């Protein structure tokens, strides 16, 4: 095992529509843009995670950075359903009030993938998608059940 310097991980999301994604994550979900970095294609190739020039938009959510990756040459869209591709498939945000969070999303015209679901009364979840079709989950656990 190796030692880490943080107790969180950063997440990189390749986007096909940076303006819609920034608006969604900043204006609707409340993340803060903390940096924008230009990364030249030769470095990207050398690092082994892509080809071509890249602009990285770092958005902070607590201790986590969500890095929106804006490629000069747009990549093809992928199927967002969790059972269609291997790899990271969705983000989870834990909320204090599920109904208020869902009302906020609806007021922002965010389409829910499902209604609020509860397999057990003390836990609720709902899925929706960002502008690029990435799945996002909201999770709520009754504080009295903890």
Comparing CA positions, the residue from 145, 54, 137, 142 lying closest to residue 88 is 137
Return all residues near 138 (Cβ < 8 A) that are at least 6 apart. 92, 93, 94, 95, 98, 101, 102, 125, 126, 127, 128
Query: Angle at the Cα of 43 (from 57 to 52), degrees rounded to 5?
Result: 70
Cβ-contact 132, 15 below 8 angstroms: yes
Quick check: 90 pLDDT over 90? no
**pLDDT for 48 beyond 80:** yes
| Fold observed for domain 90-145 | 2,3-Dihydroxybiphenyl 1,2-Dioxygenase; domain 1 (3.10.180)
Residue spans per domain, the chain: 11-71, 90-145
pLDDT in tens, 55-79: 999 999 999 999 999 998 878 777 7
CATH homologous superfamily for 11-71? Answer: 2,3-Dihydroxybiphenyl 1,2-Dioxygenase, domain 1 (3.10.180.10)
Strand partners, 56: 37, 69
Domains 11-71 and 90-145 share a fold: yes
Asked whether the beta carbons of 39 and 12 are under 8 A apart, the reply is: no
- Strands of 54-61's sheet in order across: 11-15, 64-71, 54-61, 32-39
Which pLDDT score is estimated for 119?
A: 85
Entry pTM: 0.85
Compute the distance between CA of residue 89 and CA of residue 103 in angstroms, rounded to an integer. 24
CA distances in angstroms from 119 to 116, 126, 140, listed in the order given: 10, 12, 12
Per-residue CA distances from 104 to 29, 64, 66, 67 (Å) = 9, 22, 21, 23
pLDDT digit string (tens) for 26-41?
A: 999 999 999 999 999 9
> In the chain, pLDDT over 90 holds for what percent of residues?
64
């Amino acid at each position: 095992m190796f030692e880490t310097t943080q107790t969180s991980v950063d997440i990189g999301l390749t986007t096909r529509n940076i303006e819609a994604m920034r608006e969604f994550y900043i204006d609707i979900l409340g993340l803060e843009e903390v940096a924008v970095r230009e990364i030249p294609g030769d470095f990207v190739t050398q690092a082994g995670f892509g080809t071509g020039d890249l602009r990285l938009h770092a958005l902070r959510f607590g201790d986590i950075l969500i890095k929106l990756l804006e490629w000069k040459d747009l990549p093809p869209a992928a199927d967002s359903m969790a059972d269609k591709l291997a790899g990271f498939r969705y983000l989870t945000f834990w909320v204090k009030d599920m109904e208020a969070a869902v009302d906020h999303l609806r007021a922002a015209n965010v389409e829910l993938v499902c209604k609020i679901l509860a397999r057990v009364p003390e836990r609720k979840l709902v899925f929706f998608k960002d502008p690029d079709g990435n799945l996002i989950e909201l999770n709520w656990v009754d504080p009295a059940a903890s």
